[in-house]
Amino acid sequence: MRTIRHFWPDLNDWLERVPDSRFQPFVTYDKRFLVWWGLSLFLFQLRARRQLDFDLDCRDSEVLKNLNRLANTKQDTRPVHKTLHHFLGHSGVEPYAILRRQMLQRLIRSKALDAARLQGCFVIALDATGHLVFREKHCEHCLVQKHETHTVYMHQLLEAKLLGPANMALSMGTEFIENQDDNAALAAEARKQDCELKALSRLMPRLRGDYPQLRLCLSGDGLYACGRTLQLAKDYKCNYVLVFKEGHLPAVWREFQTLLKLCPENRLEHRPSDGVHQEYRWVHELSYEDGEGRTWSFTAIQCQETVHEETTTYAWITDLHVSKNTVVEVATKGGRHRWHIENQGFNRQKNSGLNLEHAYCTHPELFKAYYYLMQIAHLILQVFEAGSLLKHLAAECGRTPWQLFGSLKNIAQRLLESFRYRILGDSVFVPDPTERIQIRFDSS
Ligand SMILES: [Zn+2]
């Protein structure tokens, strides 16, 4: 729990600064208490909202004392899960978007994430995922997918995740992919559905507004290698490393293959580990005219990786500096580390107690507040799991965290047990305001 020190008491401070008008006055519960109550749902990976009433029951446990300590409150009862629901219904999404930004800015300012920078930029992985799926029409904003025998109604979202050291993927921007109000009057068949590229056009101005000075490098799969993304990168002053697929840009790919033969000097062999051989080749100033007649010029990189005599070809387009000294880093940090968003991002959130695809709530706006709470809790969990404090704790027992806990699921379970049965000690908080808290992340 000492990881909390990294954000506490600032998290309470930030919450205090969210205007009260954001919250309907709650006579019984302080807003700080209710936000910690909501975060607990995900910090302890309880899987479903009603589990709050059982796993965090206060009888015969230290839950109430611990929650009061975290929230700096003096509540004498705990809420029930419906109270959280009611509370989020009044607060909406915005306060949690602000909290997430404050927490991430804290990590950025303290330079805790700097080891992951690529040519000075933070790599921002863009990816969309399914969130909720319904068999019946759920709301006016549902995306509609017709199958032969049935129709499904979905909510998806586009995430911008900052790729940090130690395989962290920290939620930085979220745009819900949903049909907009302006075409709600049209029949479902006539509506042009929202999609991740349209969502990107809405996400970028907000992301830039939240982080006006930060150097960003957008990283996305082949779908993003198009005029829209390149224009957005230009408009919002971002660099980019995007997957280059033959099928997606066939004419540019042909040109690329021809030019590769003409620049044999742009070549580097690399052996990242035993049995793995990589050959990098690249072409500068490859030109591409998009569907709207805009012309773009970028560097294209090809990596042929051979593992046990099986060769796979990867390629990217980028406006970063590419040379023999930088090509491996650009391809690795900007291109291949994208899978962190899959592993540490969506897969983790779907296949753990965070339970991303579970409908914590089906209200067309309210489910978004749950989503933000999940992202904030996951940020805290990643800092906890990847940080040096857990390593030190395990080292005191002469083991690694993995040897001590065995799995992330076990860590979540132990965290819940200690929250239930142990009173958070003073060491969880900062007794001396001059004491500096430092959490390091393994950048190897
Ligand atoms: Zn819906």
Q: How far is the CA of 129 from the centre of ligand 1 (A)?
A: 15
Indicate whether 203 pLDDT > 70.
Answer: yes
Q: How far is the CA of 137 from the centre of ligand 1 (A)?
A: 7
Q: How far is the CA of 55 from the centre of ligand 1 (A)?
A: 30
Q: How far is the CA of 74 from the centre of ligand 1 (A)?
A: 39
Tens digit of pLDDT for each residue in 218-248? 999 999 999 999 999 999 999 999 999 999 9
Beta-bridge mates of residue 118: 121
Q: Give, rounded to a whole angstrom, the gap between the first and last alpha carbons of the chain.
A: 25
Q: How far is the CA of 133 from the centre of ligand 1 (A)?
A: 9
* CA–CA distance, 249 with 243 (Å, rounded to integer): 11
C-beta separation of 220 from 316 below 8 A? no
Instruction: Output the CA–CA distances (angstroms, integers) from residue 166 to 45, 110, 333, in the order listed.
Output: 21, 16, 12
Torsion of CA 365, 371, 376, 378, to 10 degrees: 180
Q: How far is the CA of 195 from the centre of ligand 1 (A)?
A: 15
C-beta separation of 119 from 47 below 8 A? no
Indicate whether 436 pLDDT > 80.
Answer: no
Banded model confidence at residue 75, pLDDT cuts 50, 70, 90: very high
Q: How far is the CA of 176 from the centre of ligand 1 (A)?
A: 11
Tens digit of pLDDT for each residue in 244-279? 999 999 999 999 999 999 999 999 999 999 999 999
Q: How far is the CA of 59 from the centre of ligand 1 (A)?
A: 38
All residues at 6 or more sequence positions from 223 whose CB lies less than 8 Å from its CB, including other chains: 196, 197, 248
How many CA atoms, within 13 angstroms, populate the side-chain half-sphere of residue 188?
Answer: 14
Q: How far is the CA of 17 from the centre of ligand 1 (A)?
A: 32
The token pair that represents 50 in the structure block: 């009603």
* CA–CA distance, 223 with 225 (Å, rounded to integer): 6
Q: How far is the CA of 198 from the centre of ligand 1 (A)?
A: 18
Torsion of CA 367, 372, 373, 376, to 10 degrees: 160
Banded model confidence at residue 384, pLDDT cuts 50, 70, 90: confident
C-beta separation of 196 from 177 below 8 A? yes
Q: How far is the CA of 65 from the centre of ligand 1 (A)?
A: 39
pLDDT value for 44 = 93
User: Which region among 56-65, 200-209, 321-330, 397-406 has the lowest average model confidence (pLDDT)?
Assistant: 397-406
Q: How far is the CA of 182 from the centre of ligand 1 (A)?
A: 15
Q: How far is the CA of 320 from the centre of ligand 1 (A)?
A: 40
* CA–CA distance, 314 with 312 (Å, rounded to integer): 7
pLDDT value for 440 = 77
Q: How far is the CA of 171 from the centre of ligand 1 (A)?
A: 23
Q: How far is the CA of 141 from the centre of ligand 1 (A)?
A: 5
Q: How far is the CA of 362 from the centre of ligand 1 (A)?
A: 8
All residues at 6 or more sequence positions from 54 whose CB lies less than 8 Å from its CB, including other chains: none
Tens digit of pLDDT for each residue in 130-187? 888 999 998 989 999 999 999 999 999 999 999 999 889 999 999 999 998 655 555 5
Q: How far is the CA of 388 from the centre of ligand 1 (A)?
A: 41
Q: How far is the CA of 123 from the centre of ligand 1 (A)?
A: 31
Banded model confidence at residue 121, pLDDT cuts 50, 70, 90: very high
Question: HEC string of the chain?
Answer: CHHHHHCCCHHHHHHHHCCHHHCCCCCCCCHHHHHHHHHHHHHCCCCCHHHHHHHCCCCCCCHHHHHHHHHCCCCCCCCCHHHHHHHHHHHCCHHHHHHHHHHHHHHHHCCCCHHHCECCEEEEEEEEEEEEEECCCCCCCCEEEECCCCEEEEEEEEEEEEECCCCCEEEEEEEEECCCHHHCCCCHHHCCCCCHHHHHHHHHHHHHHHCCCCCEEEEECHHHCCHHHHHHHHHCCCEEEEECCCCCCHHHHHHHHHHHHHCCCCEEEEEEECCEEEEEEEEEEEEEECCCCCEEEEEEEEEEEEECCEEEEEEEEECCCCCCCCHHHHHHHHHHHHHHHHHHHHHHHHCCCCCCCCCCCCCCCHHHHHHHHHHHHHHHHHHHHHEHHHHHHHHHCCCCHHHHHCCHHHHHHHHHHHHHHCCCCHHHCCCCCCCCCCCCECCC
Q: How far is the CA of 48 from the centre of ligand 1 (A)?
A: 20
Q: How far is the CA of 333 from the centre of ligand 1 (A)?
A: 36
What is the mean predicted confidence (pLDDT) over 79-108? 92
* CA–CA distance, 414 with 404 (Å, rounded to integer): 11
Q: How far is the CA of 143 from the centre of ligand 1 (A)?
A: 7
Q: How far is the CA of 155 from the centre of ligand 1 (A)?
A: 6
Q: How far is the CA of 354 from the centre of ligand 1 (A)?
A: 21
Q: How far is the CA of 124 from the centre of ligand 1 (A)?
A: 28
pLDDT value for 320 = 98
Q: How far is the CA of 225 from the centre of ligand 1 (A)?
A: 29
Count of other CB atoms within 10 angstroms of residue 247: 7
Q: How far is the CA of 134 from the centre of ligand 1 (A)?
A: 8
Indicate whether 188 pLDDT > 70.
Answer: no
Cα dihedral across residues 189, 194, 196, 197: positive or negative: positive
**Amino acid identity, position 252:** V
Q: How far is the CA of 132 from the centre of ligand 1 (A)?
A: 8
